[in-house]
Amino acid sequence: MKHYYYLHTDGNLIHKNASVVDADASYFDSAFVRKVWMIDTEDRGSLWILLTEALALGANKSRIQELQTLWKMTNDDAHEFAKRTGLKFCLDGDQWRVTFEDFVDLQTSQAGFGNDCLEALADLANQGFLEKR
């Protein structure tokens, strides 16, 4: 099912019904909207992108965790997402590390780190792989 979420400038990640948004093409034209995502709850990839980008852009962590729990977005699920997107995870000490499949080493390749896989993805996104508005 299709849904919209947007990141408000105050850090709130807000859900909007697709029928309301689709009826008004300018619905999100506001200085208070940092970024908009259209997700499909049948496509777990769209959920991972939403949570990753929203966390990287500074969304309230409690809201991210709420959606992560609601959608059962686990570290195991993140590994499946990574396989489909050319990423790979590994434990590096007590943190998760995510890299691209062509990872060489930390001096020459991009890597993201976090306490869980989502935080690692957000860290990688913050390194220039995220289009900020």
> What residues contact residue 89 under an 8 Å CB cut-off, 6+ apart?
75, 78, 79, 82, 96, 97, 98, 117, 120
Distance CA 111, CA 76 (A): 19
Extents of the domains making up the chain: 2-129
How far apart (Å, rounded) are the C-alpha atoms in residues 14 and 75? 24
- pLDDT truncated to tens, each residue of the chain (133 aa)? 899 999 999 999 999 999 999 999 899 999 999 999 999 999 999 999 999 999 999 999 999 999 999 999 999 999 999 999 999 999 999 999 999 999 999 999 999 999 999 999 999 999 876 543 2
